[in-house]
Amino acid sequence: MNQPKPSDALSRSRRCRSARRRDDLKVPRVWVPDPSRPGFNAEAARQASLLKGASEEVEALRFIAAAFDWRD
């Protein structure tokens, strides 16, 4: 399989970013925890257990469902 030249990929990327800017879109950059880090799963489970059964759980699940189904 032929790989595109780096300059071709860079050019395509620049054109794509320019098109998005013309559409008034901006690239989001967010730092998130690394799920491959040791202890990540334990911390995620700990935080989930804090929320389970709390009154905020239903609100959080509704928010997640609404954010996931963004096509509407």
What separation, in Å, do the N-terminal and C-terminal C-alpha atoms of the chain show? 39
DSSP 57: H
Confidence of residue 72 (pLDDT cuts 50, 70, 90): low
Q: What is the pLDDT of residues 1-49, one digit of tens each?
A: 676 666 788 899 899 989 999 999 988 889 999 999 999 999 999 998 9
Which tokens is 39 given?
Answer: 């202890």
Contact 17, 23 (CB under 8 A): no
CA distance 1 to 22: 33
Q: What is the pLDDT of residues 54-67, one digit of tens each?
A: 888 888 888 888 88
Contact 27, 20 (CB under 8 A): yes
Contact 54, 64 (CB under 8 A): no
Higher-scoring residue by pLDDT: 70, 57: 57
